[in-house]
Chain A
Amino acid sequence: MIDRAKLLQLHRQLLKGSRTASEEIAAILLSALTNELCGDFRHLDPARVSDGVTDAILDYSTHPGSFDPKRSVPLDRFLRHNAWRNVANIVRSEKRRRQREGIAAGMAPVVELHPAVGNPLQNEITKRQQEQEREVASLDEPLDREVQKLRQSGERRTEAFAKILGISHLPEADQRREVKKTKDRIDKILRRKARDPQ
């Protein structure tokens, strides 16, 4: 049972600048809202559901003014609504990622199942694969080659690249920055090599 009077009190403390109220709100709502939303998103990993709930609580904690108690929606319902939206966004992005992976994975069997010489589609795919292999081979650093191969496979998740780069221990924002830096650097190298093959 959620103590709404306590939550309202914590909300007022947050508005006044309390540094500790965010933790108390998380302690009260994180588990309760995650359990509730796991019912709405039965096929999703509970950890991903909790990420959506966490983001809602963290966002609210840094901007407590986003909640207006006068609107007669209790804080837990307000955060549940925001958390639901966050989890739905996670579901959408995972779906898009799976679609991309499916497209990327679907290309390889075409090459294996229909190796007919002269088939224009086959030729185009082979040409593209050769171009990709050339790109990878043109990179001097083994790590860059691994990153480029992963990009070519359609992977877009930062965590997958962070694993290769050995930076999984860093905060997400730092991982994103480092991964972007690496990709940009690889793109520059490839552009330079395309311009000047020697």
Chain B
Amino acid sequence: MSESDPAGLIVRAARRASSRDEFMAWLLVRYQDLEQCDESQIAENLEIPRADVPKLALCLRPRPKTFVEDIAALAAKFNCDASKLANLVRLAEAAGVMQATEESESGAGLLIAARKRNEHVEEDERQTE
């Protein structure tokens, strides 16, 4: 990538934004994971040029309280169907919640396992004494 390649810079910036849950990029990655699809399929689904996907990714995600207005603003900006965009966002949000739940459950599982192991060790130590 050259420093004077604006499109390349936008693509890289969009990837970087995907680690921040305030951005559409974060939702688009969750959607891709959920639907096992890539950017071109997202573009196809929303009926927008593929080059617009990283631009959409750099937008802030819709807020719950103003969801309809925010979706309308995003859809107007990228000239896409608001209901398709809303559907994508809702699915991605659900995927994000599921992922977070899975992570917290596996974390809890590890904690329980660690606790049980510690209990066994303590029990062994008591028996040795």
Contact = CB atoms under 8 A, between A and B. Distances in A.
B113 to A, nearest CB: 9
B12 A177 contact: no
Given A46-B3, A58-B20, A188 B73 contact: no
A20 B59 CA distance: 5
A173 B25 CA distance: 13
B10 A30 contact: yes
A22 interface: yes
A27 B3 contact: no
Interface residues of B, number: 38
Contacts of A131: none
Given A20-B74, A34-B3, A50 B12 contact: yes
- For B23, B56, B117, the residue with the greatest tally of chain A CB atoms inside 10 Å of its CB is B23
Main secondary structure of the interface of B (DSSP, over half): helix
A185 B110 CA distance: 9
Contacts of A62: 20, 22, 60
Contacts of A91: none
Interface of B: 1-6, 9-10, 12-13, 16-20, 22-24, 26, 29, 55-56, 58-63, 66, 70, 73-74, 77, 103, 110, 114, 117, 121
B98 to A, nearest CB: 14
Contacts of A17: 63, 66
A19 B73 contact: yes
A58 B70 contact: no
Contacts of B22: 61-62
A61 B60 CA distance: 8
Given A27-B10, A38-B3, A46-B3, A22 B19 contact: no
A177 B103 contact: yes
Contacts of B9: 30-31, 34, 50, 54
B73 A20 contact: yes
A171 B20 CA distance: 9
A49 B3 contact: yes
A35 interface: yes
A162 interface: no
Contacts of B110: 181, 185
B21 to A, nearest CB: 9
Given A26-B13, A26-B58, A27-B55, A19 B74 contact: yes
Nearest to A39: B3
A17 B66 CA distance: 10
A114 to B, nearest CB: 43
A135 interface: no
A57 B6 CA distance: 15
A51 B12 contact: yes
B12 A19 contact: no
Nearest to A51: B16
Contacts of B17: 54, 58
A19 B3 contact: no
Contact of B19 (A34, A50, A171): A171
